[in-house]
Amino acid sequence: MIVESRLPAILLGFVLAASTHLAQAEPSLGKNAVEAALQVTSEVDNDAAHSAFGDDLPLKEFSESSETLSLDPVVAPTEPRFAESEPETITPPPTHSLHVMLDWYINPYHAALIVARERGLLDQGGLDVTFGAPADPNVPPKLVAAERADLALMSQPALHRLVDRGLPLVRVGTLIPVPLSGILARDDRDINSLADLEGRTIGYAVEDEAQVLLDGLLEQQRFGLEAVKLERVDFSLSQALANGDVDAVVGTLRPLDRRQSAQQGVATREFSIDDSVIPLHDALILVANRDGLSEHRRDISHFLDALERATAWMVKHPQAAWELIRTAEPALDTPENNAAWPGVLRLLALRPSLLQTQRYARFEAYLKARGLIERITPVSRFAVEIETP
């Protein structure tokens, strides 16, 4: 049908060209000849119009009788090339594994980790994260230094001392940016002030942290570390205190530690470091292996971004956040933790990646002045701020 509709125009052009040739050859060609030529054109138009609605135009005869006119055959359009090929398989982005060692058994201070996992924020960053609880609270940073874990939670004071001993550790994030440490003493041991700790037995979990804290807390007393007996009790701080195995405990004080003793009928007295000479520091940080940082920088960046988004959501939805946490970790669903949750939420770092360089420099100088480290290490060697996506 497409070819047939072109025939009137083709024939008209053919006839007009012939007429022009005749007019040039015979200047005397009259009106009758022109009218005859137009009559032929009209007849061709009528036949073509009829053929446009019917199929009786003798195309074959016309093609055979025309020596100068040649029509190309009509070729049906083919399918687009993309329709002929098989669709490409969409490959999901690869996941990157991160092994994170906790500083302690799971507790409310790990809220950002739990919520980031439960809300799928780690998956969105292409991360496959596993969390491990240590059998010994002193071990996590040492596993990172030995490249047996990618990240570990620890305190800032302990980081300074381990770096001073040559461990290749670097702070990459912060979960709790304020001190949580102090001394919790049995009230029935007549410990009414720090001066009453002389000659007493004090339990601890992490030695590097305990020595820094006691040194600062006892700085204004007539005695020092040599006048107290330190006893390592690992995870059993509250249990050792309740059993009477120690007179007091020192370290990071968690909600359960304070209330567990009270539940067991043991009255306690707390001595905070807030009024001591100990500089402000981060209670809970994330450390990586300095030598392997470049390999994991992208993954750590996405990990910190997930923690920041999780914390922002918790601040906006505190009750929903606690419901999510206690459902995901039933061991945390206790009256003590439930009561402590509003206070814990206020302590969480809103920007886990943020590094307060001056804080770390100040603490390094303090430890050197107190004789707790041998040399000053530049902050850039043991603390960095990693940009998040």
Measured CA to CA, the distance from residue 153 to residue 137 in angstroms comes to 10
The answer, yes or no, to whether residue 50 has pLDDT greater than 80, is no
Which runs of consecutive H residues, i.e. helices, occur in 244-289?
Answer: 255-263
Q: pLDDT tens-digit profile of 244-276?
A: 999 999 998 776 676 777 777 888 999 999 889
Q: What is the pLDDT of residue 95?
A: 81
Predicted pLDDT of residue 69: 42
Average pLDDT estimate for 367-372: 97
* 3-class secondary-structure state, position 190: coil
Contact between residue 169 and residue 342 where contact means Cβ atoms under 8 Å apart: no
Q: pLDDT per residue over 106-122, tens digit each?
A: 999 999 999 999 999 99
Quote the CA–CA distance of 278 and 214 in Å, as a whole number. Answer: 10
For residue 85, name the pLDDT band (cuts at 50, 70, 90): low
pLDDT for 216 equals 95
Between CA 321 and CA 342 the distance in angstroms is: 11
Q: Is the pLDDT of residue 280 over 90?
A: yes
Indicate the length of the chain as a whole number.
389
Q: Which residues pair with residue 286 across a beta bridge? A: 153, 173
Quick one: average pLDDT of 352-373? Answer: 98
The pLDDT value given to residue 27: 43
CA distances from 371 to 187, 288, 374 (A): 32, 26, 7
Kindly report, residue by residue over 125-174, the tens digit of the pLDDT: 999 999 999 999 999 999 999 999 999 999 999 999 999 999 999 999 99
Identify the structural domains of the chain with CATH numbers, from first to last. 4-84 (no CATH), 96-175+285-382 (3.40.190.10), 181-272 (3.40.190.10)
Contact 247, 161 (CB under 8 A): no
The model's pTM: 0.75
C-alpha to C-alpha distance for 366 and 363, rounded to whole angstroms: 5
